[in-house]
Amino acid sequence: MLWLLALAVSRPLWAAVAIDISADKESGVYAVGDTATWTVNVTNDGQPATGEVAWNVQQGGLAQIAGGKQALEAGKATLKGTRADAGTLLLNVVYEPTPGQRTQGLGGAVFGPEQIKPSAPAPDDFDTFWAGKIAELKAVPMNVQITPVDIGRADIEYYKIDMDGYKGSKIHGQLAKPKGKTSLPGLLQVQWAGVYPLSRDWVVGPASQGWLAFNIIAHDLPIDEPAQFYKDQDANQLKGYPMIGREDRETSYFLRMYLSCYRAVDYLLSRPEHDGKTVLVQGGSQGGGQSLVTAGLHPAVTAIAADVPAMCDHTGHLADRAPGWPRLCGWGLKPDSEKALATSRYFDAVNFSARAHCKTALVGIGLIDTTCPPAGCLAAYNALPCTKQLVLMPKRGHGGDHGADYSAYGKVVDQGNNAAN
């Protein structure tokens, strides 16, 4: 079932001015060839604004296909856009009554969302490459080190976990479970982008709800050092980490990251408390991408929940749309490196989605997300071969509170449990 909602955003850069953008179709979803009509409402101190707005429409969030200036009438303007093929439009509106006082608003529309396809096929040797890497990983013993930590909860057992990973790397994480309980469903929580410590809440909360919860840090770093440690790593060794090794599949930063997710599932399966049935992988942004990837790599994954997934559609340039984070092939209108373009296809979450082993999936997409643009995320969603649910979210770029959108988690997890049984 598609949850298709209105599209609007307001990003005031000072408090007095606000922009609200709404599409004439509350869903924001159109048939190919239809025309989307946006109503732009600009207020200043709660009153209709005067003057004009500058605007442009980008096809797939990349190339500008229309633009200009539009006078406000009673604080409102009407703008239109259409597509003759399946894809998205991104409307950008700027109100600047005086120089330097800018307020930006975004609106979106999607045309034929179910028809959006990958921008490039998987490499011919995609499966062979990843089967070989998994074999290399399996040849390395886990050598798990488990450190119990007293967190002051009589009902929860908490552990720090360290184990060996791909080619001499380490995997670091945390695990929590309800004390004394067995036959627990497994949860793997994977992280959004950045360099930061893990919060115990990310496993203690799910453990309180009956999960065997495992959470790994995305990097080969300890999980609970002082904040300055991570700031130093981010400014030095891990500065711009997504681009490390981007022109060679053997050196890509994401090779170790993806294989660490695979091993994390193996570790969950090895725990005696695991029910032997359920493995849910969930995350947002970079974590959403990792969720899709893990489902494509590991046959034991039964369900995923991927919010605004990154690493989708690295080759979006080839379909005249903005690639997803981290834009491994550059931020311009065309790829900036043919080698990076070729390598990126081995790490594109869209290609893993097509191979997903999970029985159920929940995917959240923001239609005005400029970090993980919706077209690439929809290509990944459409490629999933399982029972799935799409949440297209209103007034949603890349950030924000996802809680309301993820009230559907329980249903998806239940479906995964039932399928596993």
For the residues of 361-404, what is the DSSP string, one character each?
EEEEEETT-SSS-HHHHHHHHHH--SEEEEEEETT-SS-S--TT
Given CA atoms 369, 371, 376, 382 in this order, what sign does their dihedral have? negative
Give the pLDDT confidence score for residue 417 in this predicted structure: 45
- Spatial separation of the C-alpha atoms in residues 320 and 315, rounded to whole Å: 9
Nearby residues of 327 by Cβ (< 8 Å), 6 or more positions away? 314
What domains can be seen in the chain, in order of their start residue? 2-112 (2.60.40.1930), 126-420 (3.40.50.1820)
Read off φ and ψ for residue 322, nearest 5 degrees. -70, 130
pLDDT of residue 114: 97
Give the pLDDT of residue 406: 45
In the chain, which residues have pLDDT < 50? Answer: 1-14, 402-410, 413, 416-421
Q: Which residues pair with 46 in a beta bridge?
A: none
Report the predicted TM-score, pTM, of the whole model to 2 decimal places.
0.91
- The alpha-helical segments, DSSP class H, found in 236-325 are 253-270, 286-297
E strand or H helix at 235:
helix 227-235
- The end-to-end CA distance of the chain, in Å, is 23
- Nearest to residue 267, comparing CAs of 138, 419, 136? 138
Establish how many alpha carbons lie within 13 A of residue 401's alpha carbon, considering only the half-sphere containing its beta carbon: 3
